[in-house]
Amino acid sequence: MSKNRFSVVGQPLPKIDAWGKVTGETRYADDLALPRLAHGRLLRSAHAHARIACIDTSRARALPGVYAVITGADLPRVKFGILPVSQDEEALCTEKVRMVGDAIAAVAAVDEETAERACRLIEVEYEPLPALMSIQDSLAHPEIRIHEYGDGPNVHKNVALQFGDVEAAFARADLVREDVFHFEGNTHLPMEQHAAVAHWMADGKLTLWSSTQTPHYVHRLLAKILDVPAAHIRVVAAPVGGGFGGKLDPFAHEIAACKLSQLTGRPVKIACTREEVFYIHRGRHPVLMWIKTGFTKQGDITGCHLRTWLDGGAYGSYGVASTFYTGVINPVTYKMPVYKFEGARVFTNRPPCGPKRGHGTPQPRFALECQLDKAAEQLGLDPADMRRRIVAEPFTKTANHLTVTTIGLEECIDKVVEASGWRDKRPRYQAAAAAQTPKPLWQPRLRKGVGIACSAYMTGAGTAIYWNNMPHSGVVVRADRSGGVTILCGATDIGQGSDSILAYLVAEVLGIEPKDVHVHPADTSLTPVDLGSYSSRVTLMCGQAAIQAGERLKAAVFKAVAAKLGVDASALVARERKIGVADDWDKALTFAQAVELGEAMHGVLAFPGSYAPPKRAGKYKGGGVGPSPCYSYSACVVELTVDEDTGTVVLDDVWIAHDIGRALNPLLVEGQVEGSIYMGIGEALMEEQVFRKHLHKTPSMLDYKSPTTLETPEIHTYLVETDDPEGPFGAKEAGQGPLLPVIPAIANAIYQAVGVRIDEVPITPDKIVKGLELKRQGKPARIGPDKLPLFTFKEPLVVDSAFGQPAEAIAVRPFAEETPR
Amino acid sequence: MIRLPAFEYLKPRTVSDAVKFMSDRGPDAMLVAGGTDLYPNLKRRQFEPKALVGLRGIRELRGVRASGGGATIGSGTTLTQVATHPAVARRYPALATAAGLVSSPQLRNMGTLGGNVCVDTRCNYYNQTYDWRKAIGFCMKKDGDICLVAPGSSRCWAVSSSDTAPVLWALGATARLVGPGGERTLPVAALFRDDGIEYLAKRPDEILTEIALPPDDGWASVYLKLRRRGSFDFPVLGVAAAVRREGDIVREARIVLGAVASQPREATAAAAALVGQRLTSETITRVAELAAGPSKPLDNTDFTHPYRKKVTRVYVARALARLAGLDAGPSSYEAGA
């Protein structure tokens, strides 16, 4: 496939919703105003762990302006959760609260002020229980149970998988390293705070508008939670002002708004405050990691054994998947013939963690890439060359039975090594770092360093969160007589540009302009199901469904045009809003005329497209997490300056090369890459969701430190195109993978600059200063965890390693037939 | 959304009307200028005034007047105006720097010099919503009676978080206060008290109307700010240094530290050690060690407090080096810009 085959694909076009976003026309959930709208507010727990003895809402009900007050007693007694295996949440807690911020009651009132006042009038009698605020606390106190289910006292999930004989692999190695790392939890911090408007109308049917990434899952779960037939519920995804994984669960404010609307007969809006968004969370898990890897003298990996302990917080959420993700993706990047993974997710009385950009993989990526750097140093190898040597083989299987298709990582490494001046800078900075000339206190000692890291990430999860044989993505393309085309798809654009991608792909297929394509927002009563905007699945899965639907429409229209022009349909082309024979273009019909002919021949022109990923999950328990149609790859070099006296790190430049398969719109891809880098920088250097006296220490945009544009360096992005057979026109993901390498690349660059290993993020100035003090005292210049929890992982499930087995690109892809049924 | 409480907003046109409103309303009223700090604090119920007396409509409070060797700056002058005024930048560069480092451009366009000088002290047990503070158990600064950062303490340890106050102190500025009993002028150094709650020597019904800066003859000044990010953040350490030299001999010196106590903290012993000296590398090192003495941060702001203590000497040394011309200029991150 050459680039000039395309007219829309590959063009740096603006997003179709760009005008609305920059002018403020876009109406987010909190912008919705309906007649007789009531405003809701949730009362949230002030205790991290307590039994609810009694709730008295009488004073709140009596407040003028209050329409309704509800508690858990007003809702069906049913627990729910996004994963079928973790049904442990209540919208409004009835018996127990498990964290500060758990919702207990909800109020609908004439305005937000009144609703807030009413919340303060609700009297809750608590019987406080000891709060368990860390993995160590929770494991040390099995007599205190946060939940009654799981794989042990306060252990949500305990997994162990082994592919091949790791001990033999270590015995074969020239160097075996064991390292311990910690990755602090952090949160998504979307610009838009969650908001929902519910309207339970007089006909007994419910509509919910919500800033959600997964209208389909919310639809399914609302039916269960509210005990209402799903057929009577409509969920509309409002434009989402940033998701990053934080809007993937059903939330208390959505459910409460629905119930309050039913009781009041009014539409009800609940918009979360910023502080509430910190409690809703479902963000990055704090993960403690132990990683043991064997290396040959040449830098080949003989085998790897990883243990992870995840602080899950108070609820399950996506945690079972998160636990697997800390283990299953690392083998996709490098040749890792033997692999063992043990992971445990522990409940604590903190806001529940879940999926955040990179879901479960930035933490073990940090561990692996820092360990590779240490191994390269010990082996006397250049860390870039070492990585390049061990890049996994395309179209093979990994030790843990994942099928890998195209891999552009070698080219990515070459690009960033070349562009960053790695070969020149690395020895130069190394020599400079060794110099220790005396200097006066006032003179800053600035040290430069370069660091490298690589990564891989899924392009869409290969399995749905509930078991089914239906499509993961559905699209209906409808042509109207004006020459316009409407796309109906249940995907939500969370800022990543998925609506635009749908418009580009269908415009490409039909030879029209993206502006001629109207993309309808996700609406469960109108749009075919798409599972949601997560796991970097939308461009690939909706894209393939949209191409299929577009091709079917095109075939129908071509048939009618062929009859009109008296030519064979195979001679027709669609471009420039016309359909005709290339050699006889003067006779070409406009697209609108062609649609009229098509409609006259076939009736209504509306065609479905469906996509489900190839079925190739590993045939072992747990094999469903990790498979993906294809994987993106990234390589990143960071150059930075460390001020030794203050520990301040200034990023000078980031070079990143990303194997995108094909850039459907390079501008959007670069935007996703830059956004990922920016988010990674925050995680590497400052962001931390930490607690003091059971409370979130910094639940505000001012105090939760996240970088600004001023902390964001020049980012040099290089796109590598590998034209993957699984992707729409060859495309792979861009929204998550590029976040992964920047964090270890920063840690590795800091080590190169000042000779201090900070084996935990965030890498804050005080840790660097402390590390330098240790170095001056001649002690090991390392800051990081050294203790591991006393914990017994379960007996591993032992499976043969599938490493190196050849893999077909597409095994079986359901719904892939070419013609409409 | 977190909402403002209800209050009455009074809009005087003159200082005397403002004073009258304040004395009429007594403790139920508060002054507001740019509102960039007060309004968010109201949302969190850190204050619950019945009335706000808005100073924005009072013309006489605005503007920079450079006269003779000195200058007067109306308290209602925005921080952007202070930061960009040519005479301020020329004569009092530390003040221009400090004003230009407050928060973000948008907030500097609203926030005023008077507001920044009088800005509420901060503490990460206190700058939280009502519900958060209730959950942890209220502190003595609002709604409670203990100090959460120093539980045995009988006083509040909230941190002075003004960028401009330590600079004005170091520059020897004076403040004009107008109250029901008339007006008075006092050194900026006497405007503050070492208490997180009663951090101003100004009475609540007095209005800070003007800052007067003495002639800059022979004085040079500099301000360095430590904060996490290049924008938004309050200082967690500020170093204001001013010296008057004859030839290259220091004749007078003031070093004032911001954000290490409940008021700006003058490092008098360090400054005294500068007098009669040249600003050499050795002097700077010695003085910086002395200056770090009064820096006694507690665990109630961003960064760890041992770290803030540790880097005080570095920041003081760098400030003095800049005055000595030993340093080409601030690298962007040291200045936080």
| SS3 per residue for A644-710 | CCCCCEEEEEEEEEEECCCCCCHHHHHHHHHHHHHHHHHHHHCCCCCEECCEECCCCCCCCCCCCHH
Q: Cβ–Cβ of B288/A702 closer than 8 Å?
A: no
In 3D, which of A591, A599, A604 has the Cα closest to residue A513? A591
Strand partners, A198: A208, A268
Q: Cβ–Cβ of A710/B311 closer than 8 Å?
A: no
Three-state secondary structure string covering B6-24: CCEEECCCCHHHHHHHHHH
SS3 content of chain B, % helix, strand, coil (to 5): 35, 25, 40
Strand partners, B208: B177
Pick the residue from chain B with its C-alpha nearest to A41.
B1
In 3D, which of A303, A315, A378, A375 has the Cα closest to residue A347? A315
Q: Which two tokens stand for residue A329?
A: 């993706």
- pLDDT score for A4: 57
Residue A527 carries which DSSP code? S
Judge whether B281 is closer than 8 Å to chain A, CB to CB: yes
Pick the residue from chain A with its C-alpha nearest to B308.
A766
Judge whether A708 is closer than 8 Å to chain B, CB to CB: yes
Compute how many other C-beta atoms are within 10 angstroms of the C-beta atom of residue A586.
Answer: 6
Classified as helix, coil or strand, A581 is strand
Pick the residue from chain A with its C-alpha nearest to B4.
A113
Q: What is the largest CA-CA distance in chain B?
A: 59
The whole-angstrom distance between B229's CA and the closest CA on chain A is: 7
Whether the ω angle into residue A331 lies within 30 degrees of 0, i.e. cis, is no
- pLDDT score for A810: 67
In 3D, which of B61, B62, B114 has the Cα closest to residue B85? B62
Residue A73 carries which DSSP code? G
Which residues touch A5 (CB under 8 Å, ≥6 apart)?
none
Q: Is A22 exposed, middle or buried (0-12, 13-18, 19+ CB in 10 A)?
A: exposed
Residues of A with Cβ-Cβ distance to B1 under 8 angstroms: 30, 112, 193, 271, 273
Spans in chain B with pLDDT lower than 50: 329-337
Q: Cβ–Cβ of B302/A708 closer than 8 Å?
A: no
The whole-angstrom distance between B159's CA and the closest CA on chain A is: 15
> From the centroid of its chain, how far is CA B125?
20
Are the CB atoms for A585 and A603 separated by under 8 Å?
no
Quick: pLDDT tens for A414-471.
999 999 999 999 999 999 888 888 899 999 999 999 999 999 999 999 999 898 999 9
Interface contacts (A, B; CB < 8 Å): 111
Pick the residue from chain A with its C-alpha nearest to B135.
A46
In 3D, which of A121, A50, A695, A185 has the Cα closest to residue B128? A695
Quick: pLDDT tens for A258-274.
999 999 999 999 999 99
CB nearest to A769's CB, from B1, B310, B331: B310
Judge whether B48 is closer than 8 Å to chain A, CB to CB: no
pLDDT > 90? residue A298 = yes
The whole-angstrom distance between B124's CA and the closest CA on chain A is: 8
Residue type, A577: R
Quick: pLDDT tens for A496-507.
999 999 999 999
pLDDT > 50? residue A94 = yes
Q: From CA B62, how far away is CA B82, in angstroms rounded?
A: 11
The whole-angstrom distance between A47's CA and the closest CA on chain B is: 7
Quick: pLDDT tens for A300-313.
999 999 999 999 99
Strand partners, A175: A295
Residue of A45, A111, A441, A700 best to disrupt the B interface, most CBs of B under 10 A: A441
Which residue spans within chain B are E strands per DSSP?
A: 8-10, 29-32, 51-54, 64-67, 70-74, 174-179, 182-187, 207-213, 219-226, 237-246, 249-258, 265-266
Residues of B with Cβ-Cβ distance to A693 under 8 angstroms: 136, 148
Q: How many helices (H) and strands (E) does chain A have?
A: 19, 34
- Tell me what ipTM this predicted complex has: 0.95
Residues of A with Cβ-Cβ distance to B300 under 8 angstroms: none
Residues of B with Cβ-Cβ distance to A708 under 8 angstroms: 229-232
Residues of B with Cβ-Cβ distance to A441 under 8 angstroms: 284-285, 288, 313-314, 317
Pick the residue from chain A with its C-alpha nearest to B125.
A697
CB nearest to B132's CB, from A271, A275, A646: A275
Q: From CA A786, how far away is CA A372, in angstroms rounded?
A: 19
Residue type, A440: P
Are the CB atoms for A522 and A490 separated by under 8 Å?
yes
Judge whether A448 is closer than 8 Å to chain B, CB to CB: no
Compute how many other C-beta atoms are within 10 angstroms of the C-beta atom of residue B304.
Answer: 17
Pick the residue from chain B with its C-alpha nearest to A763.
B303
In 3D, which of B309, B249, B242, B298 has the Cα closest to residue B270? B242
Judge whether B285 is closer than 8 Å to chain A, CB to CB: yes
In 3D, which of B179, B181, B165, B174 has the Cα closest to residue B210? B174
Residues of A with Cβ-Cβ distance to B288 under 8 angstroms: 441-442
Classified as helix, coil or strand, A450 is strand
- pLDDT score for A536: 96
Which of A628 and B67 is assigned the larger pLDDT? A628
> From the centroid of its chain, how far is CA A372?
25
Q: Cβ–Cβ of B128/A699 closer than 8 Å?
A: yes
pTM across the whole model: 0.97
Residue A443 carries which DSSP code? S
Compute how many other C-beta atoms are within 10 angstroms of the C-beta atom of residue A745.
Answer: 33
pLDDT > 50? residue A779 = yes
Quick: pLDDT tens for A14-32.
999 999 999 999 999 999 9
Judge whether B231 is closer than 8 Å to chain A, CB to CB: yes
Q: Cβ–Cβ of B331/A444 closer than 8 Å?
A: yes
Q: From CA A476, how far away is CA A443, in angstroms rounded?
A: 66
Which residues touch A95 (CB under 8 Å, ≥6 apart)?
A51, A52
Q: What is the DSSP string of B298-326?
A: -SSSSS-HHHHHHHHHHHHHHHHHHHTT-
Residues of A with Cβ-Cβ distance to B128 under 8 angstroms: 699-700
Judge whether A393 is closer than 8 Å to chain B, CB to CB: no
Three-state secondary structure string covering A160-205: EEEECCHHHHHHHCCEEEEEEEEECCECCCCCCCCEEEEEECCCCC
Q: Cβ–Cβ of B281/A698 closer than 8 Å?
A: no
Q: Cβ–Cβ of B281/A711 closer than 8 Å?
A: no
HSE-CB of A86 using CA atoms within 13 angstroms: 27
Residues of B with Cβ-Cβ distance to A47 under 8 angstroms: 135
Which residues touch A739 (CB under 8 Å, ≥6 apart)?
A357, A358, A362, A676, A677, A679, A680, A683
The whole-angstrom distance between B40's CA and the closest CA on chain A is: 11
Q: Which residue has tokens 């990582």?
A: A409
Quick: pLDDT tens for A765-778.
999 999 999 999 99
Q: From CA B46, how far away is CA B142, in angstroms rounded?
A: 6
Q: Which two tokens stand for residue A112?
A: 């937000």
CB nearest to B135's CB, from A100, A441, A443: A100
- pLDDT score for A808: 77
Report strand pairing: B265-266 vs B249-258.
Answer: antiparallel
Q: Cβ–Cβ of A44/B131 closer than 8 Å?
A: yes
Confidence category of residue A811, pLDDT binned at 50, 70, 90: low
Pick the residue from chain B with its C-alpha nearest to A120.
B131
Angle between helices A739-754 and A362-379 (to 10 degrees): 40
| Chain A, window 4-33: residues with a beta carbon less than 8 angstroms from a chain B beta carbon | 30
Q: Cβ–Cβ of B232/A708 closer than 8 Å?
A: yes
The whole-angstrom distance between A16's CA and the closest CA on chain B is: 29
Residue of B44, B122, B228 best to disrupt the A interface, most CBs of A under 10 A: B228
In 3D, which of A168, A166, A182, A70 has the Cα closest to residue A118? A70
Q: Which two tokens stand for residue B244?
A: 């008057």
CB nearest to B231's CB, from A44, A695, A710: A710
CB nearest to A765's CB, from B124, B288, B307: B307
Q: Which residue has tokens 């030993």?
A: B326
Q: From CA A632, how far away is CA A731, in angstroms rounded?
A: 9
Q: From CA A613, how far away is CA A813, in angstroms rounded?
A: 6
Judge whether A440 is closer than 8 Å to chain B, CB to CB: yes
Radius of gyration of chain A (CA): 27
State the average pLDDT for chain A.
96
pLDDT > 60? residue A791 = yes
Residue A392 carries which DSSP code? P
In 3D, which of A558, A435, A516, A137 has the Cα closest to residue A313? A137
Residues of B with Cβ-Cβ distance to A697 under 8 angstroms: 124
What per-residue string of b and e applies to A107-116 under the rule 16 or more CB within 10 Å gives b? bbbeebbbbb
The whole-angstrom distance between A432's CA and the closest CA on chain B is: 20
